[in-house]
Amino acid sequence: MTTETDTWFDHHQRATVEAAMARIIPTDDLPGAREAGTVDFLDRYLSGIDFIYAKPDGSGFETLSGRSAVAWTRRVELARQKYDDGVRELDRQAQALAGVDFVGLTDAQQDRVLAALERGVDAGPELAKPEVPYGIEPALQQTNAESELDFFSLLVTHTRQGFLSDPIYGGNRDHIGWQVIGFPGPASLAEVHSGRYSTSEYFADDRRHPTPHRQQQGLNGQEDAS
């Protein structure tokens, strides 16, 4: 449901998704997804295809047309359907667990429902352990196209994007996400486009893992005599 405010979620959907995102990147001694406005990023994305590609100079967004517009419209429609179904599933599991919708659960109960959703089981008394090969964490690895992700994986992906993407896309409010990871970032995309800002200083020249000897040297500022 696109409106003049560039949003798509209804009130209940928005509250539910915001609560789920707030458990994926929770607020502790540092701000989390709620403070960074990750739900605003997602709500804008689902509103249509007017906010897909920011112009390099930061003046607005590219207007999509032709095949690109058709493809992105379909992609957004698929994401909308996944969130429609996903919110209903969150509420179904919450009702089965505690007799309330997802937003009415405690933090611990919300975590239980999300863990069950990730594992493809119900959040009942005996929450089954996932049968996942060692070292594989599907929801944390964006190795597939968005259209191939299930609801939970899509939710995790959009939470991360809303937390760390340029604020022009609607999230990372007040650069909160960047501040959490110690990245000052550009004031605007125009700084990047004009060449006034570069991220080169944040890339290591030597990408090899440091040896214990080099780690000691870096900590003490001198060679380890041993």
DSSP single-letter state for residue 158: H
On whether residue 209 sits in a domain, the answer given is no
Q: How far apart are CA 150 and CA 140, in angstroms?
A: 12
Give a yes or no: residue 223 inside a domain. Answer: no
61: in domain:
yes
Query: Is residue 2 in a domain?
Result: no
CA–chain centroid gap for 102, Å, is: 19
1 within some domain:
no
Give the structural domain span for 51.
Answer: 11-185
Residue 97 Cα distances to 2, 31, 75, 151, angstroms: 33, 29, 33, 20
Ramachandran sector of residue 195 (left: φ over 0; alpha: ψ -120 to 50; beta: rest) = left
Distance CA(98)–CA(211), nearest Å, equals 51
Long-range CB pairs of 71-80 (<8 Å, 24+ gap) are 73/48, 73/49, 75/146, 75/147, 76/45, 76/46, 76/48, 76/49, 78/147, 79/45, 79/46, 79/146, 79/154, 80/8, 80/46
Assess whether pLDDT exceeds 60 at residue 209.
Answer: no
Burial of residue 111, with CB atoms counted within 10 A of its CB: 0-12 exposed, 13-18 middle, 19 or more buried? middle
For 143-170, how does the pLDDT look when each residue is reduced to its tens digit (9 = 90+)? 447 878 999 999 999 999 999 999 999 9
Confidence of residue 211 (pLDDT cuts 50, 70, 90): low
Tell me the per-residue pLDDT of 84-136, one tens digit each, with 9 for 90 and over: 999 999 999 999 999 999 999 999 999 999 999 998 877 665 544 444 333 33
Q: What is the pLDDT of residue 207?
A: 56
Domain assignment present for residue 123? The answer is: yes
- Please give the residue that has the higher pLDDT: either 25 or 224: 25
Query: Cα 100–106–111 angle (5° rounding)?
Result: 100
Q: Within a domain: residue 126?
A: yes
For the chain, where are the alpha helices, taking DSSP H only? 11-24, 33-36, 38-46, 66-98, 107-119, 151-164, 176-180, 189-193, 212-220
Distance CA 116, CA 153 (A): 13
pLDDT value, residue 201: 78
Identify the band that residue 224 occupies on the pLDDT scale cut at 50, 70 and 90: very low
Query: Does some domain include residue 84?
Result: yes
pLDDT of residue 24: 97
Q: Domain tally for the chain?
A: 1
Rg for the chain (alpha carbons), in Å? 21
- Residues composing the chain: 226
Confidence of residue 195 (pLDDT cuts 50, 70, 90): confident
Q: Which residue has the higher pLDDT, 192 or 213?
A: 192
How large is the average pLDDT for residues 64-83? 95
- pTM, full prediction: 0.78
